[in-house]
Chain A
Amino acid sequence: MAGNVTPLAAIHRLLGARFTEFGGWEMPVQYTGIIDEHLAVRQRCGLFDLSHMGEVEIRGPMALEFVQEVLSNDVLKLTPGRVQYSLLCNEMGGILDDLLVYRHQDYVTLVVNASNTDKDLDWLRQVALRPRYQGKVEILNVGEERAILAVQGPLAPKVMQVVGLDVLDLPYMAFRLLGRQGELMVSRTGYTGEVGYELYLPAADAVTWWERFMGVKESIGIQPVGLGARDTLRLEMGYTLYGNDIDETTNPWEAGIGWAVKLDKEFIGREALLQTKAQGLQRCLVGFRVDGRGIARPGYPVQVSDELKGEVTSGCISPSLDKAIGLAYLDHTCAEEGTLLEVIVRGKAVAAQIVSLPFVPSRVRDVVDS
Chain B
Amino acid sequence: MSVPANLRYADSHEWVKMEDDGVIVGVTDYAQSEMGDIVFAELPPVGAEYEKGEGMAVIESVKAVSDIYAPVGGTVIAVNEALVDSPELVNDDCYGDGWLVKLSLPEKVELDELLSPEEYEAQIEA
Cβ–Cβ contact A34 & B36, under 8 A: yes
Q: Is the CB of A295 within 8 A of B36?
A: no
Digit string of A304-338 for contact with B (CB within 8 Å is 1, else 0)?
00000000000011010000000000000000000
Pairwise interchain contact B62-A34, C-beta atoms closer than 8 A: yes
The 10 lowest CB-CB distance pairs between A and B, nearest first, are A34-B62, A317-B39, A35-B37, A33-B37, A295-B60, A317-B62, A295-B40, A34-B37, A228-B63, A316-B62
Given contacts A346-B42, A346-B58, A231 and B36 within 8 Å (CB-CB): no
- Report yes or no: A317 in contact with B36, Cβ–Cβ below 8 A: no
- Docked-complex contact A34 and B63, CB < 8 angstroms: yes
Residue B65 interfacial (CB < 8 Å)? yes
Residues of chain A from 267 to 319 with CB closer than 8 A to chain B in the complex: 293-295, 297, 316-317, 319
Within 8 A of B (CB), among A23-49: 30, 33-36
Given contact pairs A34-B63, A346-B58, a sample of 7 additional A-B residue pairs in the complex whose CB atoms are under 8 Å apart? A30-B36, A34-B61, A35-B62, A293-B40, A293-B84, A297-B65, A317-B40
Q: Are A228 and B36 in contact (CB under 8 A)?
A: yes
Q: Which of A226-265 contact B (CB under 8 A)?
A: 228, 231-232
The reply to whether the CB of A59 lies closer than 8 angstroms to some CB of chain B is: no
User: Shortest distance in angstroms between B44's beta carbon and chain A's nearest beta carbon?
Assistant: 12
B contact residues around A33 at 8 Å (CB): 36-37
Whether A158 sits at the interface, judged by CB under 8 Å, is no
B35-65 vs A, CB cutoff 8 Å, 1 = contact: the mask equals: 0110110100000000000000010111101
Interface bracket on B: 10 to 19
Which one of B61, B65, B84 has the greatest number of beta carbons of chain A within 10 Å? B61
Tell me, in angstroms, the Cα distance from A30 to B91 when the chains sit together: 15
B39 touches A295 (CB 8 A): yes
Name A38's closest neighbour in chain B (CB-CB): B62
CB distance from A256 to the nearest CB of B (A): 23
Partner of B62, one of A18, A293, A319: A319
Beta-carbon contact of B62 and A232 below 8 Å: yes
Q: Which residues of B contact A30 (CB under 8 A)?
A: 36
A-B contact pairs, 12 of them (CB 8 A): A34-B36, A34-B61, A35-B39, A232-B62, A293-B84, A294-B40, A295-B65, A297-B65, A317-B60, A319-B62, A346-B42, A346-B58
Contacts of B39 in A (CB 8 A): 35, 295, 317
Residues on the A chain within 8 Å of B65, using CB: 295, 297
In the complex the two chains form, what is the Cα distance from A295 to B41 in whole Å?
A: 10
Distance in angstroms from A328 CB to nearest chain B CB is 17
Provide the bound-state CA to CA distance between A295 and B38, in Å: 12
Q: Is the CB of A316 within 8 A of B37?
A: no
| CA distance in complex: A30, B65 (Å) | 17
Residues on the B chain within 8 Å of A293, using CB:
40, 84
B62 proximity list for chain A (CB < 8 A): 34-35, 228, 232, 316-317, 319
Bound complex: CA A317 to CA B104 (Å): 34
Alpha-carbon separation in the docked complex, A342 to B29 (Å):
34
Instruction: Give the docked Cα–Cα distance between A255 and B62 (Å).
Output: 24
Contact A231 B42 (CB under 8 A): no
Query: In the complex the two chains form, is B40's CB within 8 Å of A316's CB?
Result: no
* Bound complex: CA A294 to CA B65 (Å): 11
